[in-house]
Amino acid sequence: NKQIIFSGYVSGFPKESDLKVTTTTIDLRIPERSTSVLVKNLYLSCDPYMRISMGKPEPLSSSLVPPFNTGEPIIGLGVSKVIDSGHPDYKKGDLLWGVVGWEEYSVITLFPYSHFKIHHTDVPLSYYTGLLGMPGMTAYAGFYEICSPKRGETVFVSAASGAVGQLVGQFAKLMGCYVVGSAGSKEKVDLLKTKFGFDDAFNYKEENDLNIALKRYFPEGIDIYFENVGGKMLDAVLINMKLNGRIAVCGMISQYNLVEPEGVHNLTTILYKRIKVQGFAVSDFYDKYSKFLDFVLPYIRQGKITYVEDIAEGFESGPSALLGLFHGKNVGKQLFVVARE
């Protein structure tokens, strides 16, 4: 059983040596009278929150995501096929998505809202790591529940071509909003405009002054900011928000690898402009997962929602695929294939 093992707590940018591929023999039988299932992992997901799990455990971050254990397999999300089952609701051949180790086979104890049975297989299975999985739910809960969007409002999304951002933009267009995204390359900016239907987009790495860039796209200001990056972008957005604007703090990826977080200077605008700033965790919204599927599946089938994935091939590609997120290497949702069936 190949596994990807966590070497130990990381400070600064993670390196490939922090994640080691090993082969072990493990007992893959499920214990008698247990309700565990033995699964073969097909697709494993690379997600930015995993960097938080690599940091030294501290109470605040651990309340959002549990830390990895040194010397044990990385824990993440994946799509898996049941090989053997002691659980009354799962039988051999069933598919599920949820929390699994980064390994070829896992024996897992199933928990509600940690594991979800897959019922719809007319869409690519890998979508359950992205569009139909945790990032999709994040975009849905973050945009509709936290941002309280209204038709005609102006929306700005950072890390807009990624797993979450590309969906937020498409949801905003479905709602009749004006939406602009920022991303870190020309290829990503082109995707935003041509594939995901953003009204406009810009490469933040080519802008000397983010405040001036935002004024170009939002001369009247921003009603909704879907925050994925933090740092300098947040500072520039704050002074471009409209009165009574909303900021959904989904993530702050620009801060995850810094030893000292960057300061944000323009916080007084929150007061002057009566801005509502709200952080959220997708795990608090999984009771809405089936409602989300009912909402999004028809759009996918009608071709009204599209999704771009960056699929690395093979188990050994896992560490570099994950690390690539922090250098903007992924174009769309990053995952890797362990096995296709």
Applying CB under 6 A, the residues found at the interface with ligand NDP are 47-49, 135, 138, 159, 161-165, 183-185, 188, 228-229, 250-254, 280-282, 325-326, 328, 330, 333
Taking the least distance from each CB to ligand NDP, the nearer of 35 and 114 is 114
* Residue 99 DSSP class: E
- Beta strand 309-313 pairing with 333-337: parallel
Closest distance of CB 228 from ligand NDP, Å: 4
For ligand NDP, give the closer residue by CB, 118 or 321: 321
Phi, then psi, of 220 in degrees rounded to 5: -95, -5
Tell me whether strands 200-203 and 178-183 are parallel, antiparallel or unpaired: parallel
Question: Which parts of the chain are beta strand (E)?
Answer: 2-6, 19-23, 37-45, 75-85, 95-101, 105-108, 115-117, 154-157, 178-183, 200-203, 222-227, 241-249, 276-279, 309-313, 333-337
Least Å from the CB of residue 38 to ligand NDP: 28
Nearer to ligand NDP, 78 or 165 (CB): 165
Smallest gap from Cβ 76 to ligand NDP, in A, equals: 12
The least CB distance from residue 9 to ligand NDP, in Å, is: 19
Taking the least distance from each CB to ligand NDP, the nearer of 20 and 276 is: 276
The residue (of 59 and 93) whose beta carbon lies closer to ligand NDP is: 59
Residues 6 or more apart from 73 whose CB is under 8 A from it?
A: 3, 4, 5, 6, 101, 102, 103
Min separation Cβ 280 and ligand NDP, Å: 6
Q: Toward ligand NDP, which CB reaches closer, 107 or 224?
A: 224
Q: Closest distance between ligand NDP and the C-beta of residue 75, in Å?
A: 15
Token output for 247: 């900021």
Q: Is 70 exposed, middle or buried (0-12, 13-18, 19+ CB in 10 A)?
A: exposed
| Beta strands across the sheet bearing 241-249 | 200-203, 178-183, 154-157, 222-227, 241-249, 276-279
* Cα Rg, the chain, nearest whole Å: 20
Q: Report which of 4, 12, 17 is spatially closest to residue 106, judged by C-alpha positions.
A: 4
Q: Which residue has the tokens 């044990």?
A: 72
CB of 90 or CB of 97, closer to ligand NDP? 97
Least gap, CB of 314 to ligand NDP (angstroms): 20
Contacting residues for 124 by C-beta, under 8 A, at least 6 apart: 309
> Residue 52 or 339: which CB sits closer to ligand NDP?
52
Q: How far is the CB of 281 from ligand NDP (least distance, A)?
A: 4
The residues near 330 (Cβ < 8 Å, ≥ 6 apart) are: 46, 162, 310, 321, 324
Rounded to a whole number of angstroms, the minimum distance from the CB of residue 249 to ligand NDP is 8
Closest by CA to 158, choosing from 262, 233, 212, is: 233
Q: Which residue is nearest to ligand NDP (CB)?
A: 162
Q: Residue 96: what residue type?
A: L
Q: Among residues 48 and 73, whose Cβ is nearest to ligand NDP?
A: 48
